[in-house]
């Protein structure tokens, strides 16, 4: 009986070892690097990108410049996010990491959003931010903190989070994310700005609002 159960125990052990790897945001690379290329010529398709021939790779493929410069803030929410990911730093392909600079106007915010493929760690470069995230159902517990220059905060993968400038001057933060392409789902834009639009009666019931208010919100977020 014990001998017959041995293969099953082996399988369980293997699953216990490999499952954490299988559900990681980005798979571990099997080569030193795989610089993204825009053509399939002499390339291999990895992580949604074609790999550049390693013999043609240069230092510039791992280089991005200008992140020290302030970005203009013109969005209605009062922030500008400048991403450094696999789409503009090709050497990040398969490396499982990316970076953003966030500029906040006075009273600006990076509104509630989520990254479906990444944990985020943020450091404040300038100013004072109120940051927080909300846990999943059913608790929906809010964790929030006021951050000053040099302070660091972590947002767990997939959870809704935000930052708001509560200081009297513009603020700047930098954040690293545990994916080459973490994705972003801004809650308000996604719910009220979907294409095509979600039936207003569904959103009215979900948010317990008058359908006319939902329609007004959808018009504000219409692309």
Q: Is 161 annotated as a binding residue?
A: yes
Q: Is 115 annotated as a binding residue?
A: yes
Torsion sign (Cα): 195, 199, 202, 203: positive
Residues listed for the chain: 223
Q: Is 169 annotated as a binding residue?
A: no
Please tell me whether the peptide bond between 196 and the residue prior to it is cis, using omega within 30 degrees of 0: yes
The rounded distance, in Å, linking the Cα atoms of 134 and 24 is 21
Q: Is 219 annotated as a binding residue?
A: no
Q: Is 47 annotated as a binding residue?
A: no
The rounded distance, in Å, linking the Cα atoms of 125 and 132 is 17
* Residues of the binding site: 110, 113, 115, 120, 161
* Residues of the binding site for oxalate: 110, 115, 120
* Residues of the binding site for Mn(2+): 113, 115, 120, 161
């Amino acid at each position: 009986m014990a001998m017959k159960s041995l293969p099953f125990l082996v399988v369980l052990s293997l699953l216990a070892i490999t499952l954490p790897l299988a559900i990681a945001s980005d798979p571990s690379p099997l080569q030193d690097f795989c610089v993204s290329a825009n053509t399939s010529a002499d390339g291999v398709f990895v992580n949604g990108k074609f790999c550049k021939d390693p013999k043609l790779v240069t230092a510039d493929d791992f280089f991005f410049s200008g992140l020290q410069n302030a970005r203009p803030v013109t969005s209605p929410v009062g922030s500008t996010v400048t991403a450094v990911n696999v789409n503009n730093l090709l050497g990040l392909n398969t490396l499982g990491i990316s970076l953003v600079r966030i500029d906040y106007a006075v009273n600006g915010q990076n509104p509630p959003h989520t990254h479906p493929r990444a944990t985020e760690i943020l450091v404040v470069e300038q100013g004072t931010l109120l940051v927080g995230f909300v846990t999943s159902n059913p608790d929906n517990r809010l964790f929030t903190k006021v951050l000053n220059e040099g302070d660091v905060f972590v947002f767990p993968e997939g959870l809704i989070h935000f930052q708001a400038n509560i200081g009297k001057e513009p603020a700047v933060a930098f954040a690293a994310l545990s994916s080459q392409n973490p994705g972003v789902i801004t809650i308000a834009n996604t719910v009220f700005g979907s294409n095509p639009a979600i039936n207003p009666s569904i959103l009215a019931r979900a948010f317990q609002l008058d359908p006319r208010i939902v329609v007004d919100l959808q018009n504000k977020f219409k692309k």
